[in-house]
Every structure is written in C-alpha cells, then in structure tokens.
Structure 1
Amino acid sequence: MKRFTLAAGALAVYAATGLASAYAAGPDIKIALIAGKTGILETYAKETETGFMMGLEYLTGGKMEINGRKIKVIVKDDQSKPDLARTLLAEAYGDDKADIAVGTSNSGAALAMLPVAAEYKKILVVEPAVADSITGDKWNRYIFRTARSSMQESISAATTFKNGSIGFLAQDYAFGKDTVKAFKEALGVVGSKAKVVAEEYASPATTDFTAPAQRLFDKLKDAPQPRVLSIVWAGPHPMNKIAEMHPERYGISIAPNGNILPVLKTWKNYAGTEGTIFYYYDFPKNKMNDWFVAEHRKRFKSPPDMFSAGGFAAASAVVTALTKSGGDTNTEKLIKTMEGMDFETPKGKMNFRAQDHQAMQSMYHFRIKKAQKDEWDLLELVREIPASELPVPVKNKK
C-alpha cells in the first residue's frame, strides 16, 4: 500500500511537472510557407522549401523547436497565381492560425499577398520574389524581405559596366520590368557611362526568341562599344537560343544574370562570359555554408542552389527573430526585434534595414569557367560585392 501511494505521489508530481513544462513551453509555432510548387517556377519553389527546412534543422540543432515550442511548417502551393496566393495567405493566417508566413516564388503573387499581411497584422517574410515595389510603394510594416531586390541585383550588375551600350531581353511581368527599370537607375547610382539603348519584353512562356532577339541586334549593332545584350529571365533560360543566333557578328556579347545550377550547366560553351549572381555554393566561406553544401551533397547528390540558399536565409531570419524574442510570436514584438536585426545566412551576415525591412546582403561577380573539374564546377569568383557597395535607395512610404 505504501509503495502504491509513493508511486502515485511520484506520478502526480511528474504529471504536474510535465504539465507545467508543457504550459510554459506554449503551443506550436506555426509557420506558413507559400511557394509556386507547380507551374513555371516549380524548381525555384522546391529549392526554397528544401533550403527552408534545412535551415530550420541547422539553426535549431535538429530539435525543430524554439524555447521549448515546437515548430510546425504548413506548406501551400500558390501555383504562381496572384489570386490563389492571396487566398492561401488569408487561409494560413485565419484558419491555420499561422504566426508567421514566408513566400512566395513569383513577384506578382507576392505583391498580391502584401495587403493580406497588413489585414491580419501578421509578418510575411518575402522569399524569393524580387520586385522592387515589394519593399517600395506596395510595402507595409509587416513585410520583411530576405530575398534580394531587383535594385540590389541591378546595382551589382551595373558595377560591371563602365561604358558602352546595353540591350535587355526580359520577361513581360513585374520581375522583368522592375529589373530593367532598376538597372537604368542603378547605372546612375554607380556613376556608369553605359546606356540602355534597347528593351524587349516577352511572355514567360516564349520558346521562339528569333524576333525579339533580332530587334535587339538591329538596335545594338551601330551603338557605341562595348555592346552587351543582358538577359533577365526566370525559368527555362533563352541564353543558348540567343547565342545560336551569333550576336558576336554584330560585336554583341551576352551578359546573363545568374541562374540555377541546371541552367548554368548548359552554358559551358560560353567560358569567359561574365555576370552577377546572388549565390553560388562555392563562393561564400563560412561554417554555415560549409555545413549546407556538405549536407546537401550528402542528401541530394548535388550542391545547394540559389533558391535553396534563399530558403535557408528566410529560416535564419525567422529563427533569429523568435530566439531574440524568447519564443514570443507577438507581431509587434517581432517587428521591433527584426527592424535593424543582423542574422547569419549561407551567404554570410544579412541585416534588415529598418526603413523598409529589405535584407542588405552581398552579391557576386562571376565568370564562367574554362576548365571545369566536374558537372557542378561551373563558375569562378571575380569579386564579392559587399552590401556596403550596394546603395539601394529607400522607396517606401514609411
């Protein structure tokens, strides 16, 4: 009888302690991850999800919890459709009771989500959409962006142009138009004497680039040297098709934006071609990136890609903010924590600029390698362009 009583007492104490611990830890932290997992940006979305989950794993030591609160990730596919993205974010905040949301792949879809974050007064970490208006005139105080902006990409690219003539082939939606607009402004920011003399916009579904490319050639061929055709494209990339039209006969070289590894692999015949990129697995040298590259190779037989790194960066922003807040998911406390916050990523340190919540970050000037040791040994680093050399103007209405 005594034994039973002691056991029961011990059990009661254990149960009370366990309940107290569970109560102290609080409910699960719910994070909604919205991405265009079907459609033209499917690869980008899948990479973002992979990087986000690996980032949470690394940053929580595999526990997937912060201050004893378990992390629950709710993944939703917006198919890169603005109306669906808006609906899914409202569902995440309302029905799923998500504390924070992350997304999305398409700039048009991301822009549709911004007012929803303001309506529900919940934080939205934008990754990987790049349109400048996201942290510009369409911004609200609940928006933080770990993704690079069009202006960050444009200023980094503009630093590689000293003079000459530039033509653009870009996609006919927010991403392409914002990037070209930003690049024109960026030339002035860096003091370049180069001029944009031609622009062509095509549907993201375009497969035949003969007509727009020829129009660009015609406008560039008599312009001052050096003559460069810059390609701004998400999804299946047209560089090879443009190169097959031999722009060099007009004294025109191609300058592509960085792209995902499967696309970069198709550029092997253009060794020496230069461009800029926001992440290539072999460029950053830090402990976090070392783990990311090694673990990604182990699991997927390939190094991490650009959007995988972006997903990891978004995870770092979320974990850093929640850790600093002591696991408190109160929106106002998180905003106060995140404004001006430094956080580590596979690229190195980023900082959320207080004025518009844009993550300030380094970029990279690359050259396609001539001697490639294996299928992933594709680029060599010309120069890391630090955030301090990317004076991105503040364009919101805070």
Structure 2
Amino acid sequence: MVISTKRTAYAAFLAATTMFAALTAHADGISGDVIKIGIMNDQSGPYADNAGPGAVAAARLAIEDAGGTVNGKKIEIVVADDQNKPDVGVAAALKWVDEEGVDAIFGGSASSIALAIQDIMKERKKPYMLVATAASALTDSACSPMATQWVQDTYALPKATVKSLLGQGLDTWYFLTVDYTFGKAWQADTTKFIEQGGGKVLGSVLHPLNSTDFSSYLLQAQASGAKVVAFANSGSDFANAMKQAQEFGLSEGGQKLAPLGLFINQTHGIGLQILQNVRLTTPFYWDRTDETRAFAKRFQAVYNDRIPNEAQAATYSAVNHYLKAIAAAGTDEGVAVMAKMKETPVNDFEMKDVKIRADGQVMRPLYAVRIKSPDESKYPYDYYEITETVAAEDAWRPVSESSCDLLKSQ
C-alpha cells in the first residue's frame, strides 16, 4: 500500500511537471512551431473591394518584410470568406482557434460578425485586429482587452464631416442607411454630432444589404427637402446609391451628397465626375508622403496594379505590428502579445509613434479631404486634396464619453 501510494504520488508529480513544462514552453515560445494568421472578410460579395483579397496581399507584404519568420518560426496565412453572414464567420473563427491553431484573426467583416468574433477571441485570449469593421461599439460598450481597431469607426469618420458641412450652413439632413448593425450605428453616431452642432435630421430610410435599386429611397430623400443626404452604407451599396442619386438629380436640385465613410477604391469606381468636391474623412491616403507612395507602388506590383485602400494599408500595419510584438515578447501567447502591442508605439509607412489605447483604439490621426475634379487630377489615383489633419485626440471617442470598462479602470 505504501509503495502504491508512493508510485501514485510520483506519477502525479511527473504529470504535473510535464503539464507545467508544456505550459511554460507555450508561454515562452511559439505554439505548434508556427505563427498562424487568419484573414477573414468578404472575399467575393458587396464588400470584397473594401478589404477582400487585397487585405491578403497586404498581409503577405508584411510577412515578407518580417523575412517570413519570427524568432525562427514560420508564418502562415489562412483565409476565410465570411460571405457577410454571421453564422459563416463565427463557424470559421471557431474552427480556426479551436481546431487549427490560428493565433490571431485580422477581420474586415460586417459589424454583426465582428461583434460575435470579438467575444470568441476574448474568451480564447487571442488577438483580434479590426481592419475594416466600423461599428463604434467594438471599442466602446463591447470593448475587449484582446481587440484593436486599426482603421475607422462610426464615431470618428462622420465627426469632422458633419462639422465641416454644418459650418457651410448645411443644417438639415436625411439618411440613406443600410439595414444592419454598422449602418444603424453610423446613423446614430452622426445624428448626435448633427444635433450637437445645431442641425436637424428630417428623416431616414433603411435599405437591405447588397441592394441594386435605390430609386424609392432616393425619391424619399429628395422629397424631404434636406440640404444634406447622408449615405450610411459602403461597398457596392454606396456606389449604386451615389450613381443613382446623380441620375435622379439630387445634386442638381441643390442637395449635398455626403458619404460618411468612403474608401478610395470606391472613389475610383464611381468616378470624379460624380464625386468631385465631396468632402470626407479618411485615415489613409496613398499619395500623402514618400513612404505611403513607396508602399503603394509595392502593393500595385502584387495586386493587379491597384493602389491600397484604407483597410488594405491597415492590414499591413496590423500584421506588421503583431509580428513585431511576437518577436519582442518571445511568444505567440495572446495576452503577452497584446500587452506588447499596446506597450509599443506603431511605426511604419503610414503611422509614426501611434499608441494603442486600453480600449484597443489605435490612436492615429485622420485626414479631412476634398475629392478633386477630373480637371484637377493629373495622374492615376490623384483623387484627394488633404485640407486638414485631425489629431487623434480630436478624432476618436474621448475617454470622458466612453463606456468601455478598460478605460474607466485606468
């Protein structure tokens, strides 16, 4: 009995030692001997041009710049098309992190998908980088210690746009809004800025995702008599709505068409003839500096001669910063990597000494721009005139307005 007890105790000791060694090896090294990155977004639907295959190309450039390895361990990319469907996106994320050893997800998904995946990554203690999703709740009421927001949100982008238009006396608004989380959040955040500035919202109409016929919605906007028609949508929805708004003569009738968020690939697709003199706010413009132009040239060489948009540039930055954090932490363990990411300022071709706030917000400046006319544009993709640099502190939701517990606890 004594011998048996001793053997049992010794076996338990060995098991505990083995388990501790395994945990230590994981904490101090690279799990599975590979760093596995998941890129999830709409690869083929209405938002495919927002991030899509271009985000994958940008991630590959970041991996190339890291030499293809971190601390001697290979970097791999896996890609999922979430099809703008929450069940598809959630299933892919669960399979990745629970079965396939994916260490981090870089998502450009619809807000409804992102909110669900953010919860999954928080529970699994794995980093989640938002590189195209815009719902402001992701760094506010739904904030997570494992998530970071790299591009834009429905709070920051309309803030400067509304201020500019109200300053021109354009104080009555009508919304054309996509009928899901992102669109409704965008309308709600923008309405607050309009009312704070003394403006008034005369009405709104919701349209389904991936619509092709906006005639009835535009007629309602036209009949409202609002000075500004704001588009709280994106992707092909925005492109179709803008083109049809011109056909219905909204601009000719004196109404200002205001995109609340616009990627440069959409500007390219719609054309300067339609969009000339439109004002918007953007986190990135490829032609801003020598470094952004150099990156754009590299991106063009690997992605169908197209320049990077805001989400694609941010994907590079997020992957680059993540890989640097793994190298510095000496591990791909999520909590340690996230701590290193927030501890280290972001420095790359588009951002300099940019900090990541406790709520996950990458505190980058934004740029107020005017879209040029066809006559002003002198070379391909020469589309924007930067009229103002908006400091991060003036762009993003201030701590005083946040409901994120991660900020309140500081």
TM-score when normalising by structure 1: 0.84
Residues 1:305 and 1:167: Cα distance change in structure 2 (over 3 Å): same
Q: Which amino acid aligns with 2:360?
A: H
Residue 220 of structure 1 corresponds to: 225
3-state DSSP of counterpart to 2:313: helix
**Cα offset, 1:251, TM superposition:** 2.5
Aligned pair in 2 of structure 1 residues 259, 104: CA closer, same or farther (>3 Å)?
closer
1:218 and 1:374 mapped to 2: Cα distance? 39
C-alpha contact (below 8 Å) 2:129/2:147 kept by paired residues: yes
Inter-partner Cα distance in structure 1 for 2:281 and 2:49: 20
Instruction: Judge conservation of contact 1:131–1:150 (CA < 8 Å) in 2.
Output: yes
Q: Please state whether the residue corresponding to 2:203 is helix, strand or coil.
A: strand
How many residues of Structure 1 are paired with residues of Structure 2 in the alignment?
Answer: 362
Q: How does 1:223-234 map to 2 (within 5 A)?
A: 227-234=227-234
Structure 1 unmatched runs, 5+: 1-22, 222-226
CA contact under 8 A between 2:144 and 2:360: conserved in structure 1? no
TM-score by length of 2: 0.81
Instruction: Output the CA distance in 2 between the equivalents of 1:186 and 1:46.
Output: 34
| Cα shift at 1:68 | 1.9
Cα distance 1:292–1:158, how it changes in 2: closer, same or farther (>3 A)?
A: same
Aligned: 1:32 with 2:32: no
After superposition, the Cα gap between the structure-2 partners of 1:145 and 1:248, relative to the gap in structure 1 and judged at 3 Å, is: closer
- Offset at 1:125? 1.4
After superposition, the Cα gap between the structure-2 partners of 1:273 and 1:33, relative to the gap in structure 1 and judged at 3 Å, is closer
Matched, 1:322 2:322: no
Residue of structure 2 equivalent to 1:395? 403
- Corresponding residue to 1:251 among 238, 254, 257: 254
In structure 2, the partner of 1:196 is 201
Please say if residues 281 and 303 of structure 1, whose CA atoms lie closer than 8 Å, have aligned partners that are also in contact: yes
Equivalent AA in structure 2 for residue 31 of structure 1: I
Aligned to 1:239: 242
In structure 2, what is the Cα distance between the partners aligned to 1:145 and 1:166? 28
Residue 309 of structure 1: how far off its partner (Å)? 0.9
- Give 1:344 deviation, angstroms: 2.3
Counterpart CA distance in 2 for 1:310 and 1:340 is: 19
C-alpha distance in structure 2 between counterparts of 1:130 and 1:340, whole Å: 24
Deviations 1:284-343 (A, max 9, x none): x253x2331121233332322222112112212312322331x31122222322335421
Task: Report the CA distance shift for 1:187/1:392 in structure 2 as closer, same or farther (over 3 A).
Answer: farther
The answer as to whether partners of 1:50 and 1:311 remain within 8 angstroms in 2 is no
Q: What whole-Å deviation, never above 9, does each CA across 1:174-198 have from its counterpart, x for those lacking one?
A: 111111111123346xx63333322
| Deviant stretches of 4+, over 6 Å | 23-26
The Cα shift of 1:249 comes to: 5.0
- SS for the counterpart of 1:180 is helix
Pairwise CA RMSD = 2.3
Distance 1:92 1:174 in 2: 25
- 1:6 is aligned to none
1:12-51 paired onto structure 2 within 5 Å: 27-44=33-50, 45-51=52-58
Q: Does 1:359 align with 2:366?
A: no
After superposition, where does 1:105-120 map in structure 2 within 5 Å? 105-120=109-124
What is aligned with 1:13? none
**CA–CA distance in 2 between the matches of 1:204 and 1:260?**
20
CA contact (8 A) 1:148 1:361 kept: no
